[in-house]
C-alpha cells in the first residue's frame, strides 16, 4: 500500500510540475517521460481531453440528416487515412458495421465500401458476424481499426465489414449502422462503440442524448457525453431501466382521455432511434385502431379520416409513473393515400417500441452511468 500511495503522490506531483521538467534540446515532455518509463502511467491517470478547454460540459455533437422522417444518419470515419461513411445511430442494436469491398450484394453497389488495404491501422480477424434486423440482415467479417465519431477518436474498435446485405438495404440512405444498445445484444460478442468510448475515458459523462427534428434535413443531433438544455424545455424525467439489453423501461399504460386503451396493467417498452414508428403488440394495436376509428389497408398500414384529424385525441404514454403525451400531428401523417397512422404492430413480441415518432417529441438521454433514460419535452 505504501508503494502505491507513493506512486500516486509522485503522479500528482508530476502532473502539477510537468512544466518544470528540464527538457533535452529537441525533446518534448512526453519523450522525456517515456525515457523514464513514466509516460504510460501518467497518460492513464491524466487522460488528454483537448476539447475540455472549449466546452465546460465536454460533449461532442454529431449532426444527423433526417430522411423523410424514416431514418436519421450522420458521418463517421474508419481507418488511417480515414474512410468516411454515413451510419444510422441505432439505440435498438449494438454492432457497428459498414459495407466493404468484399460485398457482392446489390445493396452494396450504391454505398461507400471500406477497403482494409487502404488503412495503415487495420487489424483483421477470422471471426464472422451475422446480424438480423426487422427489415433485413447482413453477414460479414470482423476487423479492428480506429473509428472517429463526432470528433471522438476511438482506437482499436471492432466492427463488421459486410459481405452480403439484404436487398432492402439497397434503399437505405446510410451506408451502415452504429449500434448504441448494450453489449448483451451485440452479435459475435463485439464491443459496442459507446462501451469503448467509456472504457477509453473519452467522455466527461457516460451518456449520450438525441434530438430529432421533423420534416427537415437539418437540426437533428446525437450528443456524446453531454446534455444540451437548448434542445428541451421544462424538467428531465428519469426512468430506470428494467433490462440492460435494449434501452428498456417499464410502461404503465397507454391512455386516451385518461382511459387505458393499451398496455393496461403495465408492459415493457424500448426507446429505439432505429425504428421510424411507434410499434405495439398485435392485441394492443387492434385496441388502438378501434379507439382511433382507424382501418387497415392490404399493406397493413392504418388510416383515419383526414377530416377528423383536427379533433383526434392525444396519446399518453405513462412511463415509470410519468405521463408523456403526443398530439395527432405527431402520430398521423398526410400521404398521397390519405392520413396514415405512424403506429404499427410487429417487432419484438410483447415489447412496445417507442421509435422516432415518440422521440421527436421528447429530447432523449441514454445514461449508461446510471442505467436510466431521461425524457424532456423537445423544443
Q: Give the residue numbers marked as catalytic.
A: 90, 272
Query: Is beta strand 136-149 parallel, antiparallel or unpaired with respect to 71-78?
Result: antiparallel
Gap between the Cα atoms of 353 and 343, Å rounded:
10
Sort 101 into a burial class: Cβ within 10 Å, 0-12 / 13-18 / 19+: middle
* CB count in 10 Å sphere of residue 109: 12
Cα separation, 201 vs 154, whole angstroms:
10
DSSP state of 100: B
- Spatial separation of the C-alpha atoms in residues 371 and 181, rounded to whole Å: 11
Closest C-alpha to 86, from 150, 146, 176, 24:
176
Best CA proximity match to 279, nearest among 199, 348, 230: 348
Map residue 200 onto helix, strand or coil.
coil
Rounded Cα distance, 270 and 105, in Å: 31
- Per-residue DSSP letter, 169: G
264 exposed, middle or buried (CB, 10 Å; 0-12, 13-18, 19+)? middle
For residues 236 and 372, the answer to whether their CB atoms sit within 8 Å is no
- Could you count the other beta carbons within 10 Å of the beta carbon of residue 210? 25
- List phi, psi (to 5°) of 297: -90, -175
Distance, in Å, from the CA atom of 338 to the CA atom of 308, rounded to the nearest integer, reads: 12
Amino acid at each position: 500500500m505504501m508503494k502505491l500511495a507513493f506512486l500516486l503522490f509522485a503522479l500528482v506531483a508530476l502532473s502539477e510540475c510537468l512544466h518544470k521538467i528540464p527538457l533535452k534540446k529537441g525533446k518534448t515532455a512526453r519523450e522525456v517521460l517515456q525515457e523514464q518509463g513514466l509516460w504510460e502511467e501518467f497518460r492513464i491517470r491524466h487522460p488528454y481531453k483537448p476539447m475540455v478547454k472549449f466546452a465546460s460540459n465536454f460533449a461532442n455533437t454529431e449532426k444527423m440528416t433526417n430522411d423523410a422522417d424514416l431514418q436519421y444518419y450522420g458521418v463517421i470515419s474508419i481507418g488511417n487515412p480515414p474512410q468516411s461513411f454515413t451510419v444510422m445511430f441505432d439505440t435498438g442494436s449494438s454492432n457497428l458495421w459498414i459495407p466493404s469491398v468484399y460485398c457482392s450484394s446489390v445493396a452494396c453497389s450504391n454505398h461507400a465500401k471500406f477497403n482494409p488495404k487502404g488503412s495503415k491501422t487495420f487489424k483483421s480477424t477470422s471471426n464472422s458476424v451475422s446480424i438480423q434486423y426487422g427489415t433485413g440482415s447482413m453477414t460479414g467479417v470482423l476487423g479492428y481499426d480506429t473509428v472517429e465519431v463526432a470528433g471522438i477518436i476511438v482506437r482499436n474498435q471492432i466492427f463488421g465489414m459486410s459481405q452480403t446485405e439484404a436487398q432492402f438495404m439497397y434503399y437505405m440512405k446510410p451506408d451502415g449502422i452504429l449500434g448504441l444498445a448494450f453489449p448483451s445484444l451485440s452479435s459475435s460478442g463485439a464491443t459496442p462503440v459507446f462501451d469503448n468510448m467509456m472504457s477509453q475515458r473519452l467522455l466527461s459523462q457516460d451518456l449520450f442524448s438525441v434530438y430529432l427534428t421533423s420534416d427537415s434535413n437539418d437540426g437533428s443531433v446525437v450528443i456524446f457525453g453531454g446534455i444540451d438544455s437548448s434542445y428541451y424545455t421544462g424538467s428531465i424525467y428519469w426512468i430506470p431501466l428494467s433490462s440492460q439489453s435494449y434501452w428498456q423501461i417499464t410502461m404503465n399504460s397507454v391512455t386516451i382521455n385518461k382511459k387505458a386503451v393499451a398496455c393496461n396493467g403495465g408492459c415493457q417498452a424500448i426507446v429505439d432511434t432505429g425504428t421510424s414508428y411507434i410499434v405495439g403488440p398485435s392485441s394492443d394495436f387492434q385496441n388502438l385502431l378501434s379507439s382511433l376509428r382507424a382501418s387497415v389497408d392490404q399493406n397493413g398500414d392504418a388510416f383515419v379520416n383526414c377530416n377528423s384529424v383536427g379533433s383526434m385525441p392525444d396519446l399518453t404514454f405513462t412511463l415509470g409513473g410519468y405521463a408523456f403525451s403526443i398530439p395527432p400531428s405527431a402520430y398521423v401523417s398526410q400521404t398521397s393515400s390519405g392520413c396514415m397512422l405512424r403506429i404499427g404492430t410487429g417487432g419484438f413480441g410483447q415489447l412496445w417500441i417507442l421509435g422516432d415518432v415518440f422521440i421527436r417529441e421528447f429530447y432523449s438521454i441514454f445514461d449508461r452511468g446510471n442505467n436510466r433514460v431521461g425524457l424532456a419535452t423537445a423544443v
